């Protein structure tokens, strides 16, 4: 944990998972697009060998350390269907940003220590949009259908036998990878389901 609200998790992808190489740009913070692009340009020309190595190293995943920076602060999206498909809009919280000074500092220090070249997904460098793989909530646990989607046994109100046991059932952002929390909630929910009769 880097502070009361943040958590840094180092991750390695398996050998051969190098497609991400095509999705990244130099990681640089900045208040606007031009500031980030200029900082990325200066960073690249100041470290040409490392930049080329990061771009062309064989088996990219094997030689890459990924740092997941997660926060437990509120951040909400609303998802709606439109003619263009599913769209997301911001909830009541302030717009998220990929430019987090603490994360930038940690990444820079680790890259320096490893003699590496720091990159981020292009959406972060170009548009200042952070990336998440943990979209949580949407099927709240409640005592009735007025306040949520599922009961305390994870069964959907009005649909006996239909259960929600994934991240949609999580009512809060834990600020860390939620897989173990989801697993524990699901294991508990399964204890309420009667086993099939034998024969």
Specify the pLDDT at position 23.
92
Give the percent of the chain with pLDDT over 70: 99
Indicate if 119 and 171 belong to the same structural domain. Answer: no
Q: Which of 39-43, 91-95, 191-195 has the lowest mean pLDDT?
A: 91-95
Domain that holds residue 73: 6-127
Indicate if 111 and 154 belong to the same structural domain. Answer: no
Give the tens place of pLDDT for each residue, 57-114: 888 988 899 998 888 877 777 778 889 898 888 777 777 888 888 888 999 999 999 9
What confidence category does residue 199 fall into, taking pLDDT thresholds of 50, 70 and 90? Answer: low
For residue 151, pLDDT over 90 is answered with: yes
Q: In angstroms, rounded to a whole number, what is the distance separating the alpha carbons of residues 145 and 157?
A: 6
Domain end residue (candidates: 79, 103, 127)? 127
- Domain tally for the chain? 2
Can you read off the two tokens belonging to residue 27? 């990681």
What confidence category does residue 198 fall into, taking pLDDT thresholds of 50, 70 and 90? Answer: low
Neighbours of 36 (CB within 10 A): 24
Specify the pLDDT at position 149.
96
Q: Where are the alpha helices (DSSP H) in the chain?
A: 33-46, 48-56, 101-114, 122-127, 179-190
Indicate if 122 and 155 belong to the same structural domain. Answer: no
List the catalytic residue out of 1, 7, 134, 154.
134
Indicate if 149 and 180 belong to the same structural domain. Answer: yes
Indicate whether 1 belongs to any domain: no
Q: In angstroms, rounded to a whole number, what is the distance separating the alpha carbons of residues 81 and 88?
A: 9
Q: Would you call 134 a catalytic residue per the annotation?
A: yes
Specify the pLDDT at position 135.
81
Beta bridge partners of 102: none
């Amino acid at each position: 944990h880097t502070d009361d609200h943040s958590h840094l998790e180092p991750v390695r992808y398996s050998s051969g998972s190098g497609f991400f190489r095509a999705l990244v740009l130099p990681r640089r913070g900045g208040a606007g697009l031009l500031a980030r692009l200029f900082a990325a340009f200066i960073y690249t020309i100041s470290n040409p060998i490392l930049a080329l190595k990061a771009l062309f190293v064989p088996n990219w995943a094997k030689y890459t350390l990924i740092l997941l920076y997660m926060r437990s602060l509120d951040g909400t999206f609303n998802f709606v269907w439109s003619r263009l498909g599913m769209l997301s809009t911001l909830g009541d919280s302030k717009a998220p940003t990929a430019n987090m000074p603490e994360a930038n500092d940690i990444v820079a220090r680790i890259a320096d220590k490893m003699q590496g070249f720091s990159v981020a997904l292009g959406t972060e460098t170009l548009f200042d949009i952070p990336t998440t793989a943990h979209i949580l909530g949407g099927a709240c646990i409640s005592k009735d259908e007025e306040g949520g989607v599922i009961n305390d046994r994870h069964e959907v109100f009005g649909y006996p036998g239909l259960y929600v046991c994934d991240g949609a059932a999580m009512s809060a952002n834990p600020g860390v990878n939620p897989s173990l929390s989801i697993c524990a909630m699901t294991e508990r929910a399964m204890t309420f389901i009667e086993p099939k009769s034998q024969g």
